[in-house]
Chain A
Amino acid sequence: MDDLRRHLLKRLIRTMTIQTLKTTLRLWARLSVEQQESLDFTKPKYVLTERLLDLCEESGLGVKHITELEMVYVIDHPNQRQWHAYELLEAADDALSVELSNFKEQFKAHLAELIRRVSIRIKKHTDEAVWIRIAWGDRSSRPNHLKPTYVVHHLQTPYVFITNSTSKTMPLLSQALVLATRYSSMKDAGLSGRNLAAIRGLLMKQFQQVFPSKHLQPLQGDNQTKPNPQMECEQDEQSEKRLQAACEAFGGGTLPELQKVTYTLETKFKDKTNQIMTEREQPFRCTVTFKSSNILESLRHSALTGITSTPLSPLLSSISQKGRNVFLITDKGKTEDQIGKKRGLRNLADDVFLKDTIEAAAWCQLQTFTDHVSLPIVIGMEGAEQQALLAELKSVDRSCLEESPNRIEPFQFFFNSKKDYEMFCVEMFDRRKLKVFASWE
């Protein structure tokens, strides 16, 4: 326990500057004024750490109090982490009446029900935000205080900001949050960034918005004298239009600080000069990331200089309008939901066999075959049924798999044409190296 306390404190002090350490200790208020004054801040950090440990010993402060110190520091300096925004959906009637003590109690109770070894600290910050620090443990180990998850929630709003959460802990956290806030579900809002205030501002539309208007108003005073009056007139109109369009899309004044925007494009490649690619059935898959110290400012500036043409692409203007910075773009007709379903199906597929079969089936759906192809029946089944069939398949010895056709059958692809079958084999076995069953008649 003593080691953990030392380790935590050492790590914490290493990340702080001396000045922040001073203020954080004052905010923490666990050490008396005399004790704080007795610290010599001109000494190196390791000496300070030792001295602080001695003081903690004196005042009987343990790991719990050090985690509190960490929390004070994180609340004061939230911008050193990557925050992810989540949105709560479908509020119950009493969602608006949830108050702090109630929320605290409910959240702790629900999370403790889901996982036994967990350490939770909840603190209300001055700006009405509730800060939650969670250290996760599992069946065999104590809560790990070195990798805590932080959650920020403003009561009565549908938004939650989470940092440092893993795919393992996320379902638990989401369930506890949903129950404690009286909502019915929580989804990823597709927004993340290092500046907590900025992503909160973007979601809650706390930035200067500019609305379309027929009469252009000078948005920024720009009194430059230009030699040719004729030219000035034309250019000014152009640049004013651009400015108006840029501010409508991204907002006016100082913009929220986002570091990047990511688009996953799964759209058709269309180019008049490239017949082969335009006729191609499958989408062109790529990921485009825009990065900058303030991406909205950069994009607005690029629209002013003409690097980004006006009218602006709806993809760019939806950053501010929808409050997102992670997008999945597909052609019309194939909605995000379908892809979500496909992903959900994939999540169930723990086993490589099932996963490969599903991937192969997804590929087949995108192809145009010359003749009929029947997909394995396992694809359309529920998760439990899939698992049962899989268990049956696994019970057969690998070497004599060929001898038990009824076990394989649910996983088999049937092709009516040999050409299709060969195309499938080349793609699946040679290129993707998948394990699937296929045959042709």
Chain B
Amino acid sequence: MDPKTSVARSPFSSVVQRRSKSYRQSYRSYVGTMSHLAYTPGFTKRRLTTCRLAPKRCSTAEMNPEQRALLVREWQLSYVTPLYRFQHGHLKTYSRQLAAFLVSERQRGVAAEVGLESTLRVTFTLVAGMAQTEEEADTVFIKIHSKTPLALPDDPQKVLWSGWLTCVGGDPDYLRTLPEDFVCLPLFCSGGTEGLTALVKAWFQRTFDCCFGLLEINSVNLQWLAALWTDCHARTSIKQLKLVWSLPAEPPMEVIYAMHAQDASELWRSVRQPGLREEEDDGSVGLEEVACFFKGLKSHFYRHFRVELPAGRLTQVSTALGSAKHGGRIKISNSSYMITTLTLLTECALLKMPI
């Protein structure tokens, strides 16, 4: 066994015994043993992924309607620590419990509406086919509908809020170290009013003893997304690659750099260095290549405007395949490369978890 892993693994049993319910061991403490040392080069290297698989296309025919629901809108991302005693077999119970919780929370407020019980309905559904390995738990999709008492059963219901919990391509070593009672679904995507999001989070916290936090996508990960999406252009058109930087001027300035897809893709191909990788397979993308791609983009920009883009912050990346913002908002527009995007986000969520 890898010595690092063994060091990390040993304390977990004691952690679990000490806190019978609360599970606080995080991915970071597992990966780097002691993450306050994590900024030493050796550990940082272990923490940051420097090589990823190039996006593979999966056909839309394989998509089920539940998966398609994930594409519709822009989602706000959060991370969630592992859920205690979450069981995929109890989704119906959870639906009822969450509905009851929402109604009771609403009635605690000043403006209690009479008959609200009948107007809210919660459904938990399983989204099959997202998990990449056996260790990963299945994705759970949650919807809150409003229904009017007079509506016919087959009337379309208005969706007030929707959200989902997922784990795609999480580190299998980490997932294996989790005790049996814990289910790891680290990525939480929500869409709806903030009030409802807060209530849903509160219910999860209360029921599964987990905690939530805002998941920001830092510029390294935005660069990864830009590169991975550009890599797809050979198979699926990305229309254009749009990058947004915010620069600290007075008043604040935004630079929107939109490239023609064909040209961005050719630049990307020109920085791919197959010789750099140890293995022969061309299915992986290295961090140096991403850095090189961005260096090229920035130098082309600097040659014209003499403006230092690195002084600012990359805040947004968007293509026809999807868009991601620094504040943790994401939209996936094309199902074909959803898994790649979610793998990256799952990894971000695992890294973001508190110790």
Q: Check B248 for interface membership: any CB of A closer than 8 A.
A: yes
Q: Decide: A312 and B306 in contact? CB cutoff 8 A.
A: yes
Chain A CB within 8 A of B271 CB: yes
Give the residues from 207 to 255 in chain B that come closer than 8 angstroms, CB to CB, to chain A: 247-255
Which residue of B247, B248, B257, B296 is within 8 Å of A271 (Cβ)? B296
Instruction: Give the docked Cα–Cα distance between A286 and B194 (Å).
Output: 37
Question: Do B251 and A267 touch (CB < 8 A)?
Answer: no
Q: Give the number of chain B interface residues (Cβ < 8 Å).
A: 34
CA–CA, A277 and B258, complex, Å = 18
Q: How far is the CB of A364 from chain B (nearest CB, A)?
A: 16
Q: B263 to A284, Cβ gap below 8 A? A: yes
- The CA of A282 and the CA of B265, in the complex, are separated in Å by 13
Residues of B within 8 A of A286 (CB): 257-260, 263, 300
Give Cα distance in the complex from A309 to B311, angstroms: 12
- Interface Cβ pair total, 8 Å cutoff: 116
Q: List 22 A-B contacts (CB under 8 A).
A: A270-B303, A271-B300, A274-B267, A284-B300, A286-B258, A287-B256, A287-B257, A288-B255, A288-B258, A288-B301, A290-B253, A294-B251, A298-B247, A298-B253, A302-B253, A305-B249, A306-B308, A307-B248, A309-B306, A311-B306, A313-B305, A315-B304
Instruction: Give B303-330 as 1s and 0s: 1 = Cβ < 8 Å from A's Cβ atoms.
Output: 1111110011000000000000000000
Contact indicator B304/A285 (Cβ below 8 Å): no
Q: Does B181 contact A (CB under 8 A)?
A: no
Against B, the Cβ 8 Å flags (1 = close, 0 = not) of A249-286 are 00000000000000101010111011011001010111
Q: Please, how many angstroms separate the alpha-carbon atoms of A325 and B247 in the complex?
A: 19
Q: Please determine whether B296 and A277 come into contact, CB atoms closer than 8 angstroms.
A: yes
**CA A292 to CA B296, docked complex, whole Å:** 25
Q: Does A135 contact B (CB under 8 A)?
A: no
**Complex contacts, A297 vs chain B, CB 8 Å:** 250-251
Check if B304 sits within 8 Å of A280, measured CB to CB.
no
Docked Cα-Cα span, A305 to B248, in Å, equals 9
A contact residues, range: 35 or more
A291:B304 contact, CB within 8 angstroms = no
* In the bound complex, CA of A277 to CA of B303 (Å): 15
Instruction: Give Cα distance in the complex from A144 to B320, angstroms.
Output: 36
Report chain B residues within 8 Å CB of A295.
253
- With a cutoff of 8 Å between Cβ atoms, the chain A residues found around residue B305 in the complex are 288, 308, 313, 315-316
New A-B contacts (18) at CB < 8 Å, excluding given A277-B296, A286-B263, A301-B249: A267-B304, A271-B296, A274-B296, A284-B260, A284-B267, A286-B257, A287-B256, A288-B255, A288-B257, A288-B258, A288-B301, A298-B247, A298-B250, A302-B249, A308-B307, A309-B306, A313-B306, A316-B307
Contact of A298 among B252, B258, B300, B311 (CB under 8 A): B252
CB proximity to A under 8 Å, residues B92-118: none
Given contacts A292-B253, A307-B311, A308-B306, contact A285 B259 (CB under 8 A): yes
| B266, CB-defined interface residue at 8 Å | yes
- Is B50 interfacial (CB 8 A cutoff)? no
Contact in complex: A293, B251 (CB < 8 Å): yes
In the complex, B133 has a CB within 8 A of chain A: no
Q: Which of A270, A277, A287, A311 has a CB less than 8 Å from the CB of B267?
A: A277
Q: A285-B260, A286-B259 are in contact. Are A298 and B304 (CB under 8 A)?
A: no
Partner of A301, one of B250, B296, B303: B250
Pairwise interchain contact A298-B251, C-beta atoms closer than 8 A? yes
User: B258 → chain A, closest Cβ, in Å?
Assistant: 5
The 6 A-B pairs with the shortest beta carbon distances in the complex, nearest first, are A285-B260, A276-B270, A298-B253, A289-B256, A298-B249, A302-B249
Q: Are A307 and B308 in contact (CB under 8 A)?
A: yes
Q: How far is the CA of A229 from the CA of B319 in the complex (A)?
A: 52
The answer to whether A292 and B266 touch across the interface, beta carbons within 8 angstroms, is no
Does A21 count as interface, using CB distance less than 8 angstroms?
no
